Amino acid sequence: MFRFGGPNCKVCRLIRVYLLVAVPVLMMMWIRPEFQIPAGIDGRAVVGYGFGIILVLVIVYRYYIDIYRKKR
């Protein structure tokens, strides 16, 4: 019988992802903050570089956790 709870519950994981991602996005859409990027800065480039840096950091972290730490 299926029961909610536990660390590997797929429904619980889906709910957590929704709460962590979708709810803040919806709140930002409803609140519509007045956020201005300074003149001369391309916002798309900032977001793109940010995602690129985060991607590299996640790959380095996962390499450290999955490979480097197990060899020691």
Q: In angstroms, rounded to a whole number, what is the distance separating the alpha carbons of residues 8 and 10? A: 6
Kindly state the DSSP code that residue 64 receives in the 8-state scheme.
I
Q: Give the domain extent around 7.
A: 1-35
Output the six-digit token pair for 44. 């798309």
15-48 confidence digits (pLDDT tens): 888 888 888 888 888 887 777 778 888 888 888 9
Predicted pLDDT of residue 71: 78
Confidence check: pLDDT of 59 > 90:
yes
Distance of CA 70 to the CA centre of its chain: 26
Percentage of the chain exceeding pLDDT 70: 90
Q: Are residues 43 and 31 in the same domain?
A: no
Q: Are residues 26 and 47 in the same domain?
A: no
Predicted pLDDT of residue 2: 53
Which residue type does 13 have? R
Average pLDDT rounded to a whole number, residues 8-13? 78
Predicted pLDDT of residue 68: 79
Q: Are residues 50 and 64 in the same domain?
A: yes
Answer yes or no: are the C-beta atoms of 23 and 15 closer than 8 Å.
no
Kindly state the DSSP code that residue 4 receives in the 8-state scheme.
S
